[in-house]
Amino acid sequence: MPELPEVETVRRGLAPVMEGAVIARALVNRPDLRWPFPPDMAARLTGQRVLMLRRRSKYILADLGSGETLLIHLGMSGRMLVSGQGVGRFVHAHPAPEKHDHVVLEMANGVRITFNDPRRFGAMDLVPSAAAEAHPLLAKLGPEPLGNGFHAPYLAAALNGRASPIKAALLDQRIVAGLGNIYVCETLFRARISPRRRARNISAKRAGGLVPIIRAVLDDAIAAGGSSLRDFRHASGELGYFQHTFDVYGREAEPCRTEGCTGVIARVVQAGRSSFYCPRCQR
């Protein structure tokens, strides 16, 4: 599932062709994805100007001139693809419709935005913009890791007394929004903290020290266009490249990249998720 860097990469790819543009026609080709689409979604989108594209955690929010916000979640395999205008170094003509093109936005500027989702775990909803943060999918989310509300004293307090492993705590979207398995593994490697260590056993100083590391990992991933492991593509159709610089994720039995370390990357399963780490470097 795309994590914060992948969703932010998609948002940045869509913003130049969607912000300020009018949706000339919206096509909704099925009644649902993970959940049913809102009533009359095509009619409610058609004719609306996109005022702003925002991101909250792993969701894209398109604020519309109607006072509603289109909430988009990519799910496991969802892609928002742009055609009909230059994106980056490429120009994409409108492709022939595909089986899994579930929602298509024909923009008045000639651009087409296609939401393609083979597994149909994605989601879209329309909500009043003023109440978007109260949406059930957003209401209980913690602070954005790249925002001002996420800082050392906050994280130290949030982890204090928690019996769960630090890996599980950082994946808890109520503590910090948008982090997923890949970037928590990479963060804990840079911090030299074992994913198996109990959150309550990490000192306040060390817990607070995770904040700049989390931000650095996310910034590096966004700069690389995210990670493409299976389905993820930019809005231009290009792949992300951060996977080529993983220190631990997916590198089981490979040598640790820390200079002078003779350890090899191990994998353990925690709450059904694979955790990758160096047992020598991370304690």
How many structural domains is the chain composed of? 2
> Tokens 């298509």 sit at which residue?
104
Same domain, residue pair 53 and 162: no
Q: In the predicted model, is pLDDT for residue 243 greater than 70?
A: no
Q: Domain of 30: which CATH number?
A: 3.20.190.10
Same domain, residue pair 156 and 127: no
Residues 58-112: tens digit of each pLDDT: 999 999 999 999 999 999 888 898 888 644 445 556 777 778 999 999 999 999 9
Amino acid at 38: P
Same domain, residue pair 125 and 178: no
Residues 102-138: tens digit of each pLDDT: 999 999 999 999 999 999 999 999 999 999 999 999 9
Please check whether residue 237 is in contact with residue 81, taking contact to mean a CB–CB distance below 8 angstroms.
Answer: yes
Does residue 144 fall inside a structural domain? no
Catalytic residue positions, numbered = 2-3, 58, 273
Same domain, residue pair 8 and 123: yes
Same domain, residue pair 161 and 106: no
Last residue of a domain, one of 71, 103, 134: 134
Same domain, residue pair 104 and 168: no
Does residue 146 fall inside a structural domain? no
Same domain, residue pair 91 and 21: yes
Does residue 142 fall inside a structural domain? no
Does residue 21 fall inside a structural domain? yes
Same domain, residue pair 41 and 157: no
Same domain, residue pair 122 and 186: no
Same domain, residue pair 200 and 245: yes
Categorize the per-residue pLDDT at 176 as very low, low, confident or very high, splitting at 50, 70 and 90.
very high
Which domain, by its residues, includes 271?
Answer: 152-277
Same domain, residue pair 178 and 71: no
Categorize the per-residue pLDDT at 140 as very low, low, confident or very high, splitting at 50, 70 and 90.
very high
Residues 182-240: tens digit of each pLDDT: 999 999 999 999 999 999 999 999 999 999 999 999 999 888 877 644 544 445 555 44
pTM attached to this predicted model? 0.89
Residues 249-264: tens digit of each pLDDT: 999 999 999 999 999 9
